[in-house]
Structure 1
Amino acid sequence: MAVLVTGGAGYIGSHMVWALLDAGEDVVVLDRLSTGFEWAVAPEARLVVGDIGDAELVGSLIEKHSVDAIIHFAGSIVVPESVADPLGYYSNNTCKTRTLLEAAVKGSVRHFIFSSTAAVYGAAGIDPVQETAPLLPESPYGTSKLMSELMLRDAAAAHDFTYTALRYFNVAGADPRGRTGQSTPGATHLIKVASETALGKRASLTVFGDDYPTPDGTCVRDYIHVSDLANVHLLALQRLRAGGGNLVANCGYNHGYSVLEVLDSVRRVFGSDFNVAMGPRRPGDAAAVVADSTLARSELGWKPAHDNLDGIVGDALAWEKALSHRNSRG
């Protein structure tokens, strides 16, 4: 049996591949390398360069490698970009997920884990949001993920497989062992951008809006370490294989930090200041999004190991320095 990881050459996917291999799993990666990197895939995994929208290719991989589970990360993730290109997001995130699901059903794949997002909730407010909260996405990105969740729910009801949809909050940090991290040029993740700015890779960082209804006026987010997130997926896979039913669960730490608090952490860990500019709000950004992750903890037995902002920032900075060394060697 093998686990098929879509988007396994990307940021979160590459961490997942390492976590699976560390757990003794047989791993196949399908990635078109639009934002991921071949070198980010652990050498013990088998990388196939291709698109999840290629039903014939997906079907052949399922059959060839006896795939019993799919962990689906492939997709587009930038909120403002989705506002500018909604049809592109519905194509890449929703339509191709449908194709992947159809191939999974035809190939008798028993378990499916889906990379969803807190963006399905929209402007949830300052209090931690539960899975039962209204689903009111405010961007095509959030809507594209919600549509995929609904397809997954309906397909599982009609066919013989179980699934887990994990709604991520803000993913940050890097593998503490330095094996992989966020490497995409032009990334928009705050801690990634702040790390690049601190190291001089960017001239300055822009804070998008300081007039939100939050304690310091900047957006509040729940930042989860990418290694903790990979562990949630591993636990979800174990639960499904043990006969667990369908589950939708939040992935976060139950508390948030404002943009300015994150920047203070980067200054503190880095040991120096860097240029920060104030700008207008971005389309689609909610004031505050914080997880209530009680369900993930109770159903999966998840115990976060990296719930510390300075630690998350430290891992991100360490990876950014390592990435600079890699790039300088060509």
Structure 2
Amino acid sequence: MTWLITGGAGYIGAHVVRAMARAGERVVALDDLSAPGSGLARLPEGVPLVTGSVLDRELLDRTITGHQISGVVHLAARKRVGESVESPLLYYRENVHGLTVLLEAAVTARVERFVLSSSAAVYGMPDAQLVTEDTPCLPMNPYGETKLAGEWLVRATGRAHGMATACLRYFNVAGAARPEMADVGVSNVIPTFFEALSKGEPPLIFGDDYPTPDGTCIRDYVHVADLADAHHMAARRLAAQDRPGDLTVNIGTGHGVSVRELARLVAEVTGRTEPAARVVGRRAGDPARVVAAVGRIERELGWTARHEVRDMVESAWQGWCLRISGEFKTPGQST
């Protein structure tokens, strides 16, 4: 079978493309190239890239029919929490309406398998030591709302049209399989630390008065290569099913790292211990602790995270250094 991977030329999507192609799957990437660093240079040789949006129904119809697509892995989405608060209409159009258009095209073409890249943002501020898939979903921002609405839409479509579906709720993604595939945006915590240190400024820690051992927020960080493997294993599971069904799993390590611990590790890996991290006020809506329970994905898919946080920081730093050296390939450059 052939899989269409939307958002396939972006940071996470390109890792999924590479993991599936390396495993022998036939894949086609679709991307509007709007995310920082997205482009053909991220993709393995021989993987077709269709440039365009999931909002473009005619393009989807041509792509699905022309490449004989039989399964979809949907990663294309807006994902910046602050931006979603400022522009909720944009997020609902891109993340929910875009998914609706894609599902309509998939149903029309009788695509029978669909994997949705969801997020731990669906949980909001869970009051739990470990967040299970049964923890109530109470998203706190439009981004999380669109991800939860997307899950509802995917499951309902699967039940109505005989489509096997999976919703993957991943936690904080970091690292890179190769330096040129690193996250070049500055919306995630590790790149923001790198950016501050590169400017000779102190990395910022938002609040140190949380009910945690060192007072800073605790998060579950998962290596993007492990995340990509989880997407492939979910796709393979759906491909092997002889009847429709749905699967919802967390993707994380089950271990928490505090922001202060992460700042120290970044300083150690980069060798830039000065200036020290500076504590500022809390950000509204930041929960004290969000760590995944990972028993279900271990049971259902046989997946466990292989990389430690140090691996994530070291590989991300290699990519950052490649970027600031001017050697990072920009979208449109060939490999």
Q: Offset at 1:44?
A: 2.0
2:72 to 67, 70, 73: 70
CA deviation after TM superposition for structure 1 residue 288, in Å: 1.5
Q: 1:214 aligns with which of 212, 215, 231?
A: 212
Letter of the 1:81 partner, please give it.
E
Q: Structure 1 residue 202: deviation in Å?
A: 6.7
Match of 1:284 in 2: 285
Deviates more, 1:124-133 or 1:270-279: 270-279
For 2:101, what is the secondary structure of its paired residue?
Answer: helix
Aligned with residue 80 of structure 1, among 79, 82, 96: 82
Equivalent of 1:52 in 54, 58, 65? 54
1:161-182 CA-partner distances (Å, limit 9, x unpaired): 111100010000111x445121
State the SS of the aligned residue for 1:66: coil
- CA RMSD, Structure 1 to Structure 2 (Å): 1.8
How far apart, in 2, do the equivalents of 1:51 and 1:229 lie? 23
Deviation at 1:201, TM superposition (A): 4.9
Unaligned runs of 5+ in 2: 331-335
Contact 1:83 / 1:284 at 8 angstroms: preserved in 2?
no
- 5 Å matches for 1:98-137? 98-125=100-127, 127-137=129-139
Is 1:263 the equivalent of 2:254?
A: no
Is 1:252 aligned to residue 252 of structure 2? yes
Q: Secondary structure, in 3 states, of the residue corresponding to 1:155?
A: helix
Equivalent residue letter for 1:226: V
Paired residue for 1:192? 191
Amino acid at match of 1:224: V
C-alpha contact (below 8 Å) 1:182/1:192 kept by paired residues: yes
1:302 Cα deviation from its structure 2 partner? 0.6
The 8 Å contact of residues 322 and 328 in structure 2, kept in 1 or not, is answered as no
Shift of 1:191: 1.3
Contact 1:130–1:293 at 8 Å: present in 2 too?
yes
TM-score by length of 1: 0.93
Listed one character per residue, the Cα deviations across residues 100-136 of structure 1 (whole Å, up to 9, x for unaligned) are 1111111111111111011111111351110011111
Amino acid in the other structure paired with 2:257: Y
Give the share of equivalent positions with the same residue, in percent: 42
Kindly state the Cα deviation for residue 54 of structure 1 after the two structures are TM-superposed. Answer: 0.7
Say whether 1:223 aligns with 2:213.
Answer: no
| Paired AA for residue 296 in structure 2 | L
Alpha-carbon distance in structure 2 between the residues aligned to 1:274 and 1:110: 54
Q: Which residue of 1 aligns with 2:333?
A: none
Q: Secondary structure at the match of 1:67?
A: coil
Residue ranges of structure 1 left out of the alignment (5+ in a row):
none
* CA shift in 2, pair 1:135/1:60, >3 Å: same
- What is the CA-CA distance between 1:15 and the residue it aligns to? 0.6
- Equivalent AA in structure 2 for residue 139 of structure 1: N
Judge conservation of contact 2:210–2:288 (CA < 8 Å) in 1: yes
Change (3 A) 1:162 1:114: same
AA partner of residue 323 (structure 1): R
